Amino acid sequence: MSLKSVNDILNILQLETKLQEQPFQRLLKCWSEVVGTAVAAHTRPLSIQRNVLWVATSSAAWAQNLTFERQRLLVKLNALLPNPLVDIRFSTAEWHSSKQVADQPNSSVNPQHPSYLGKQIAPENHLNSDAGDANTTFADWAVAIQARSHHLPLCPECESPTPPGELQRWGICCLCAAKKFSR
């Protein structure tokens, strides 16, 4: 076996490891695109346990409606995830507690790649700068995001900075991939 083919195999294994280690993070990135922004505002994925996705909803009515829709959602999500989900459970039980955890200042600032960009910045950085000027804080954050994004390759369809893993997997970013699969 040549050295080159050994390297190829190692690269593939590394890529597969990366894809498998964070299925929930991948799901978060594509969630609002798959379910739509209206539904995303009333839902919050909590965790994946034994290939079952747990999602908090803002009301019992949302939990009920989405439970009827879950097969459709499973098909879309499984097209994007490395490990297929077997079911989705919707419940209002953790809506309020999970909201506090996920309610970070940058969670909805960039509609292009919200969770991806949001994770780049630790929220603690902003707690220290108690200048009290939210606009300045946001401007700082936007500049930091742009600087970081410049190191990323661009999605050929929407030209957004895209993690290389997504380009390798789909040839486009996960949001464009989600759009394609939902057509």
- Residues making contact with Zn ion (CB under 5 A): 155, 157-158, 173, 176
Q: How far is the CB of 180 from Zn ion (least distance, A)?
A: 10
Cα distance between residue 104 and residue 98, in whole Å = 11
Q: Which one, 42 or 166, has the nearer CB to Zn ion?
A: 166
End-to-end Cα separation, the chain, in angstroms:
43
Cβ(55)–Cβ(88) below 8 Å: yes
- Angle (CA) 73 33 99, round 5°: 90
* 109 CB-side CA count, 13 A: 21
Q: How far is the CB of 32 from Zn ion (least distance, A)?
A: 14
Q: How far is the CB of 34 from Zn ion (least distance, A)?
A: 14
Cα distance between residue 59 and residue 56, in whole Å = 9
Q: How far is the CB of 168 from Zn ion (least distance, A)?
A: 14
